[in-house]
Chains A and B, each alone.
Chain A
Amino acid sequence: MKTKKLLVLCLILIVAFSVSIFSKPLKIGFSQIGAESAWRTAETESMKATAEELGVDLKFSDAQGKQENQIKAIRSFIAQKVDGIILAPVVETGWEPVLREAKRAKIPVVLVDRGIKVSDPSLYVTLIASDFVFEGEEAGKWLVKKMNKKGNIVELQGTPGAAPAIDRKKGFASIIKKYPNMKIIKSQTGNFNRADGKQVMEAFLKAEGKKINAVYAHNDDMALGAIQAIEEAGMKPGKDIIVVSIDGVKGAFEAMVDGKLNCTVECNPLLGPLAFQAIKDALAGKKLKKWIKQNDEVFPMEVAEDVMPSRKY
């Protein structure tokens, strides 16, 4: 009996020793929300591509939109003794217990694209995400220039209460209110989807008609719906009515090449490089900012054709 136990112990030691010597590559777990949009698939692809490039052993888990699946995934990452965890949290709350387990196991956790609410901020290393207020401001600045500081704007908001909707509205309004001749004459929610964006724009066109000079949509999908509504009203989107939106998905670039969308502010999903760098820095003991902001660019329609082939999402 005793010899057997000893043998097992020896075996474990040998395995542990050999693992620490031979498996140099980092082992990192990535818990993704799901694959509900082209944006999110692009984010996943970015993680996988970066991992391959850096020779990282990536453990990928798709939670299909459920928090309990994400928590399960994180627990299994801890059990597998990964070196770091990347988490795209589906909701803001309820993460404390599982993140505390990760902290006890001394595994750094990096959040991507959305924040969480925890009483102890040391539970995660950093958040890598776009600044939605900044995106709204950029859209506003571009529109001010394009419209020569005057004109009437209608706004298609995202889902009420969602962080991107609140912040993109706030950022945009903060720029527009500086110019007394620019007015947001109507603002309604299009719930981040095409069908609602189209229906709301239809109603706006009937209420205000030719008074509308520009549309600001909180995401590309609503803008694409609005473009259809403008066309059906017998006007030319991109010419008679300026259209600007946020996200920079493929459909938006296609619309820009067709001359129907004037500008999109990118909300970059390619967070892979930044996320892996953050984990490496954390493992090296470097102190990181609590929020690493993703650099978002403005793409007007003039550059669309040149940029399009290099777009990954």
Chain B
Amino acid sequence: MAIKDLTRDLTKRIASSHIKWSLIIFFVILLFNFIFTPNFFHIEIKNGRFYGSIIDVFNRAAPVMLAAIGMTLVIATGGIDISVGSVMAISGSIAAVLIAKMDVPFWMVLCLPLVFSALLGAWNGLLVSYIGIQPIIATLILLVAGRGIAQLVTDGQIIVFEHPPFEFIAGGSLFGLHFPIIISFGVFLIILFLFKFTALGLFVESVGGNSEASKYCGINAGRIKLVVYIVSALCAGIAGLIAASNIKAADPNTSGDGLELNAILAVVIGGTSLNGGKYFLVGSVIGALIMQSLTTTILTMGVPVQVTLVVNAIVVLVVCLIQSKNFRDILAGIFKLDFRGLLRRMPLKGGNK
């Protein structure tokens, strides 16, 4: 009885929430694969862990998911962080150089890149909140300069390394799941707790809704912004460690290339408005999953290279259209469809039969 109530409560909450549409789209993509891509849901155990396309989706989505989680908070404060790709490249490069060129203990290989990422985030935050530079410009500086820093760290070369403990980050597994999945969901849960179950989340929403007003309420808007930029850079830094560990090398030229756009897209698909204010962390995670499932689908199905980007664009366009209430209303107007009525009537019909 209690479980039934709980599921009904959950369905009700999802049906009325903002993430409803992104969830529907995710399931439509999965359904498409269920029908058209053989073996997509086939899961077997290899080397003591799960192995299959659907696992790949979650595993490969980790970097974008992490960046999108950080990006959601930044966007919630009315800002944007386009430097995440460069931060990712820097973090991976530092880790690789520490392993390959310097003899340092393992904890430093993990900590130094993240500390440096946090510093870069603090730099972004300072420019935005205390100096008052527009977020897109402030982070653009690091987008351009950051890749230069990464190339400087590695001397412009791809640094290859062998280091089993570090390789565990992307190559290892826990409870049969790839470790990046564990990391990304771990980070997600921590952020979810910090920003949904403490006052911090309210502060972020308030700063994004109206920075001036929240200042008069006694919220230190500048410090809140500083925090979200640091969180965003930290997430990107973790993504950089995963990427470097994944290929056992740091590639300062291509690692994280275009990550900022994918992360922003994931956030938007997840239902968060670029205007700031209300934000949906769960939505952003689903947004990242939608994009990765799309990529995996395209690769598995063998769509010709020349049309891959077009397919991607069309799906994203459809997703954005469905998310738009205006568009749904127009559509409903054209087809004289009463969506709400339809939904209300459906369970009744089933009951009669």
Say yes or no: A200-B299 contact (C-beta < 8 A), given A35-B156, A195-B246, A233-B46.
yes
Q: Is A69 an interface residue (CB 8 A)?
A: no
Contact assessment for B156 and A188 in the assembled complex, using a CB-CB cutoff below 8 Å: no
Query: Which residues of chain A from 122 to 171 have a CB within 8 Å of any chain B CB?
Result: 157, 160
A41 to B154 alpha-carbon distance, docked (Å): 14
Q: Is A189 an interface residue (CB 8 A)?
A: yes
A44 to B37 alpha-carbon distance, docked (Å): 48
A185 to B246 alpha-carbon distance, docked (Å): 26
Q: Is B247 an interface residue (CB 8 A)?
A: yes
Which of A35, A195, A234 contacts B243, CB < 8 Å? A195
Say yes or no: A207-B158 contact (C-beta < 8 A), given A195-B243, A234-B46.
no
Q: Which A residues lie within 8 Å of B171 (CB)?
A: 232
Contact assessment for B251 and A34 in the assembled complex, using a CB-CB cutoff below 8 Å: no
Q: Is B254 an interface residue (CB 8 A)?
A: yes
- Count of chain B residues with a beta carbon within 8 Å of a chain A beta carbon: 36
A97 CB, nearest partner CB in chain B, Å? 27
Contact assessment for B251 and A195 in the assembled complex, using a CB-CB cutoff below 8 Å: yes
Contact assessment for A207 and B254 in the assembled complex, using a CB-CB cutoff below 8 Å: no
Q: Which A residues lie within 8 Å of B243 (CB)?
A: 195
Contact assessment for B305 and A157 in the assembled complex, using a CB-CB cutoff below 8 Å: yes
Q: Is B60 an interface residue (CB 8 A)?
A: yes
C-beta contact mask, B192-229 vs A, less than 8 Å → 1, else 0?
Answer: 00000000000000000000000000000000000000
Q: Is A15 an interface residue (CB 8 A)?
A: no
Contact assessment for A198 and B299 in the assembled complex, using a CB-CB cutoff below 8 Å: no
Q: Is A203 an interface residue (CB 8 A)?
A: yes
A308 CB, nearest partner CB in chain B, Å? 16
A214 to B296 alpha-carbon distance, docked (Å): 21
B309 CB, nearest partner CB in chain A, Å? 8
Q: Which residue of B lies closest to A206 (CB)?
A: B53
Say yes or no: A198-B306 contact (C-beta < 8 A), given A203-B300, A234-B46.
no
Contact assessment for A225 and B247 in the assembled complex, using a CB-CB cutoff below 8 Å: yes
A63 CB, nearest partner CB in chain B, Å? 13
Say yes or no: A189-B158 contact (C-beta < 8 A), given A195-B246, A203-B296.
no
Query: Which residues of chain B from 168 to 187 have a CB within 8 Å of any chain A CB?
Result: 171
Contact assessment for A199 and B37 in the assembled complex, using a CB-CB cutoff below 8 Å: no
Beyond A35-B155, A233-B46, 7 additional pairs, beta carbon < 8 A = A36-B156, A160-B305, A194-B247, A202-B60, A207-B53, A224-B247, A228-B248
Q: List, sorted by A's number, 21 A–B pairs whose CB atoms are closer than 8 Å.
A: A34-B156, A35-B155, A35-B157, A37-B158, A157-B305, A160-B306, A187-B302, A187-B305, A188-B299, A189-B308, A191-B254, A194-B247, A196-B254, A202-B60, A206-B39, A207-B53, A207-B301, A207-B302, A221-B158, A225-B247, A232-B47
**Which residues of A come within 8 Å of B, CB atoms?**
34-38, 41, 157, 160, 185-189, 191, 193-196, 198-200, 202-204, 206-207, 209, 221, 224-225, 228, 232-234, 251
